Structure 1
Amino acid sequence: MRFLCGPAGFRVPGISDAMQVVVYGKAEKGQVSVGGYARELLERAHLEISPRAWDFVSIALSVVAADFTALRAKSPDGWTRVIDLEIAVQDPALWNNQARALEGALRFLTTDQWTLSFHAGGFGPPAQLQALHPKEDSVVLLSGGLDSLIGSIDLVEQGIKPYAVSQIVRGDGEKQDRFASSLGLSRIGLNHVTKSPGPQEPSQRARSIIFLAFGLAVATSLDRYHRGETVPLYICENGFIAINPPLTATRLGSLSTRTAHPEYLGRLQQVFDAAGINVKISNPYALMTKGEMLVNCENQAVLAQHAVASTSCGRFQRFGYKHCGRCVPCQVRRASFKRWGSLTDTTKYVYDDLSIDSPQYRGFEDVRSMGMALASVADHGFEQWLGHSLFSTFISDRNGYNQMLARGLDELGVLHRSYGLS
């Protein structure tokens, strides 16, 4: 499926069969719109953003719009899509030089086939008559999740003062504000607000790219960046979920997200470096399990105050803004609370008692897959189960990741045994 992504009226000679994506504007009937509200919020914040970082926001918005609009069910294999993007930017020569690198990152993230071409005519960052250069020394992505909460707490305890960037997600906005306020952090909440004329693709594997793009944009507005210094961009995610090893052979593509995988982040870092964007992506918890993040959090009192209110569920909105209790992220969360041991997990799980012999509880696919993974390790060894999950040139400390994943499985094993599942 081909998309023309740019300001209203953007056209490319010779292309007439593409879906129009209006970036930062209002779509007409039959078109897709994306990014208008985010541009408005950034303009109101008076942040002076690097033009190249702004181009990357435009690219990320185009990717998200296509990801929402192109339905996997219509692809020949029911999953892998072929997506061609024609994108309006300010510096098409630079981005055409980075097109193959971006395609590789997107292919790894979504398992689709992407082709990107860049053209002149894209919007630049909002002009600021009274531009602000915030004094914070870094940016942290604050999602409302438990990992980003711990990361923000630890940064503050270490004497680091990050600017918090959040994606506005219904059900999470108030807790994002609460977390940031309790830590004394400035915060901006943004959202792509994609509107398409038809049904939206439910998998939405590319949505994380816009969160990073928003973080990148804010990072380039900081005083530190404008003084020519490198700005850290912290994405705080436990290593088990970041690697997200397929639990079984059937979960290689559709059920294994890669939003914080070192290969995906490493590929994007190479693009930022080539574009001369002086921002460094960092995940300080790449070699920690979620339970270890809880145990080692540097302010246990603040963590205890907010931990239960955090969001971990992959189906949070679907279940009325409640944790389902049975998806992989929920299982990892529940196991991490057991590992922590300092606070009873009073999260209200829709499917709380996983021992119930029912397709909705014990027999649910994610619960069964986790049980199969634990059984496979017990029967055939960890290395055979792990397979090729760590075969990436962006993973240098394979032994460290190996040990972390084994410890993560141990945490999950404790959870399953507590319900008599293994």
Structure 2
Amino acid sequence: MKGTKRFLIKSETGSNLSEADSDYTIVVDDYRTKTETEGGRLIKYKKRVLSDLFGQSPPPTVTALVELALGTYAADRLVKRGPTGAKDDGEEMLKSRQIQILYPVVDVEKWQPLESELNHAVSFISRDNFQYRFIDAIDENQSIDEGAGGHCGQLPETDSVALFSGGLDSLGGRFYLADEGRNPHFVSVDHGRNVGHLVRNFDHLFDGNLISIGVDEEFSAYENTQFTRSFMYFAFAAAVAVALDVDDIFVPENGVLSRFSSLGSGWTTTRTVHPLFVKSLNRIFDELFPDRKVQISNPFIDYTKGEVVNCIPNKEDIFFTRTCPHPRELSQKKDAAGHPYNCGECIPCLIRIIGLVNSEHNIQPDGLLLDKNYFLDFDFSTVSAETIAQSDQSRQSSLSVFLLGLNAHLSFAYRVQTSTQKELVSSNPELLDSDIYGLYEGFSKEMFRTVEFFAAENPTLEDYVTEFLSLEDEELDCLN
């Protein structure tokens, strides 16, 4: 798919709209509806979950936000990006795409001023050029009266909303928020990849205070990166917050991945809870819900992965989490106790390994539940920083991605360990902030403790790191 791709998002609203100005149509509909798309790409969600929360159909602004995010996610999945083809550039691994979204809304005066902010926010998280255009919907039956809303009386009393994915960070968030005296209602978005099964592993921790919203793609996807999925998550979280009459939305993700300072901008992994994206989306929520103060925050923005894992009191719960966002053939792979596997090759898995090894839970290599544990099993003497194959960088998980990610984090951690804060600020201005600097000081120590942990059984790892960082004898021992 070359050039700009133009998508029209259609739902019950705007069903009579002309499609002349678009290349493709994305139809967003309810799970229960049998929709004839006539060549359109169909994505469904369990609209009834939101209707039950509101006690009626959600307000038009809520519905429009959710369906816009779903349509954006579908467009993201439908346009293949491919590699850049730049063999010597280890940071720019992906092509940027040109994607235009046309969306009819019943209160166009509210949405049109947000086009620029949405363009910026979604382009930032996707590493693409997204352009939104809102037009009047053709729907004589839909009112723009938002109404007061309301929520189901059977739900537990709550003071906030928190996202829960079944991963380490969201599990850590569940315990952290409880320790802080918060009582959130948890929201899970089940968009496949075995998310629903993962979340059910933790039913015992929520006592009914968790809802799952199903999303189903009824089209053949061409792209696997899914960088826009957090827009979908946040839209559902905002909808639930409005329904429950609360303003705080918590999205727990460790600061190393959230801030993304230790990786270049082109890496094949997520920065979907980056502070800049969160700020931008909060500005959008301010305009969409002017009578409220719906705001997203990340309680772990200054936490390393190891510190997040330490928030989880029960070691056994850790083994039921999955961090890997693209397990492919691992989706059904489990050990004898039913614990899911992680691929061990991608950037999120790399950060997971570092977090588990550095936690207080004393987790050993055979308890990491990895399909591939390169730290332990790979012969690092067979490669060098100059000879790492980059031919399959377009994949999100591979030996190349693992090694390039390891190199990037080693280089960053080494600079943090051996430079002053003033020296670091010249290349990473955000490290002037003491909290951010403290985050990466802690992470750099975790990085080198991880090397020491695995090098005890795999000496080729120590030799590789020593050569890669041009260290003197025994200098590595001083870096943790």
Same fold, TM exceeding 0.5? yes
Shift of 1:204: 1.5
Question: In the alignment, is the contact (CA less than 8 A) between 2:353 and 2:368 conserved in 1?
Answer: no
Q: Give deviations 1:24-69, integer Å, cap 9, x for gaps.
A: 16242421112x3321333355555443232211211121111111
Question: How is 1:270-309 mapped onto 2 (pairs within 5 angstroms)?
Answer: 270-275=283-288, 276=290, 277-295=292-310, 297=311, 300=313, 303-309=314-320
Is structure 2 residue 271 aligned with structure 1 residue 258?
yes
Q: Give deviations 1:94-130, integer Å, cap 9, x for gaps.
A: 1111110111101111111111111233778999999
Is structure 2 residue 116 aligned with structure 1 residue 100?
yes
Q: Find the aligned partners of 1:183 and 1:13 in 2 and give their Cα distance.
A: 46
Question: In the alignment, is the contact (CA less than 8 A) between 1:309 and 1:347 conserved in 2?
Answer: no
Structure 1 window deviating more from structure 2 (411-420 vs 147-156): it is: 411-420
Residue type of the alignment partner of 1:144: G
Aligned partner of 2:200 among 177, 181, 205: 177
Q: Find the aligned partners of 1:175 and 1:256 in 2 and give their Cα distance.
A: 21
Shift of 1:358: 5.2
Match of 1:404 in 2: 439
Aligned partner of 1:344 among 360, 363, 369: 363
Determine helix, strand or coil for the equivalent of 1:208. Answer: helix
Question: In the alignment, is the contact (CA less than 8 A) between 1:161 and 1:185 conserved in 2?
Answer: no
CA RMSD of aligned residues (A): 3.3
Match of 2:458 in 1: none
Q: Find the aligned partners of 2:19 and 2:68 in 1 and give their Cα distance.
A: 21
Determine helix, strand or coil for the equivalent of 1:160. Answer: coil
Question: How is 1:291-330 mapped onto 2 (pairs within 5 angstroms)?
Answer: 291-295=306-310, 297=311, 300=313, 303-321=314-332, 322-330=341-349
Q: Give deviations 1:111-169, integer Å, cap 9, x for gaps.
A: 11111111233778999999525431111101001111111112223332111100114
Q: Give deviations 1:240-268, integer Å, cap 9, x for gaps.
A: 01112354xxx422424211110000100
Structure 1 residues 129, 339: closer, same or farther in 2, change over 3 A? closer
Number of aligned positions between the proteins: 402
Q: Find the aligned partners of 2:454 and 2:50 in 1 and give their Cα distance.
A: 48
Residue type of the alignment partner of 1:285: F
Match of 1:413 in 2: 448
**Greater Rg over alpha carbons, structure:** 2
Match of 2:160 in 1: 138
Question: How is 1:156-195 mapped onto 2 (pairs within 5 angstroms)?
Answer: 156-168=178-190, 169-195=192-218
Is structure 2 residue 16 aligned with structure 1 residue 3?
no
Match of 1:24 in 2: 29
Match of 2:395 in 1: none
Match of 1:57 in 2: 66
Determine helix, strand or coil for the equivalent of 1:354. Answer: helix
Match of 1:378 in 2: 414
TM-score normalized with structure 1 length: 0.84
Structure 1 residues 57, 388: closer, same or farther in 2, change over 3 A? farther
Q: Give deviations 1:325-377, integer Å, cap 9, x for gaps.
A: 23221222122122213242523211125243459x98722332244231465
Task: Could you tell me which runs of 5 or more consecutive residues in structure 2 were left unpaired when the two chains were aligned.
Answer: 87-93, 333-340, 389-398, 456-460, 466-480
Q: Find the aligned partners of 2:374 and 2:211 in 1 and give their Cα distance.
A: 38
Question: In the alignment, is the contact (CA less than 8 A) between 2:415 and 2:424 conserved in 1?
Answer: no
Question: In the alignment, is the contact (CA less than 8 A) between 1:219 and 1:279 conserved in 2?
Answer: yes
Shift of 1:304: 1.9
Q: Find the aligned partners of 2:123 and 2:427 in 1 and give their Cα distance.
A: 17
* Identity of matched residues, %: 23
Residue type of the alignment partner of 1:211: Y
